[in-house]
Structure 1
Amino acid sequence: MPNYSVTFPTRPSGVYTKWVRAADPTDAVRVAAELDWPTGPGYTVAFDYEPEVWLNRHPYRLRSRHVQGPRFGGTASDAPAFTPVPATTHSGA
């Protein structure tokens, strides 16, 4: 099965990423939502928002590609700011 990274926004701010093996991007979101997300004190994962999903292929920097959801940008100081998007097809996971 392919390897995906699924990034959800967190409350009150930030993002959190999990790597999962799944059949497709939709399955990757389902698998990631079922995992234990060890967030810091005062932070919660915003499962009601659309996640960013990447298909990861080695070498990661050259072959990985964005496959679903918004682009949250990186952690660099010049990375564009992101606005979380409410999920329109939230499955209740």
Structure 2
Amino acid sequence: MPKYSVTWPTRPAGVYTEYVHAADPTDAARVAGDLDWPTSPGYTMAFDYEPEVWLLRHPYRLCSRHVQGPHFSDSEPGQPVFTPTPVTA
């Protein structure tokens, strides 16, 4: 199975990334959402927001690609700080 990175925003501020093996980007978000995320005291995962998902391929810098969700600020140098988008039902 392919390897993905799944990044969700955290409250009150920040992002957290997990790496999972999954069949596709949607499955990667589902698998990552089921994990026990180790957040710091005072922080919670913002699972009500859309995650950023990257398909990871070696060499990572050259072959990985964004496949789903918003681009968070550290993903693209020079881009403005991201504003999370609530997931709509």
Normalised to the residue count of structure 1, the TM-score between the two structures is 0.89
- Give the C-alpha shift of residue 63 in structure 1: 0.3
Equivalent residue number for residue 64 of structure 1:
64
Equivalent residue number for residue 39 of structure 2:
39
Computed over aligned residues only, the root mean square deviation of the Cα atoms, in angstroms, reads 1.7
Correspondence list, 1:1-93, <5 A: 1-74=1-74, 78-89=78-89
Deviates more, 1:66-75 or 1:4-13: 66-75
- SS for the counterpart of 1:83 is coil
- Give the C-alpha shift of residue 73 in structure 1: 2.1
Percent of paired sites with the same residue: 73
Gapped regions of structure 1 (runs ≥ 5): none
Gapped regions of structure 2 (runs ≥ 5): none
- Give the C-alpha shift of residue 59 in structure 1: 0.2
- SS for the counterpart of 1:31 is helix
Matches of 1:79 and 1:18, distance apart in 2: 22
- Give the C-alpha shift of residue 88 in structure 1: 1.7
Query: Residue 33 of structure 1 aligns to which amino acid in structure 2?
Result: G
Matches of 1:79 and 1:60, distance apart in 2: 20
User: How many residue pairs end up in the alignment?
Assistant: 89
Normalised to the residue count of structure 2, the TM-score between the two structures is 0.93
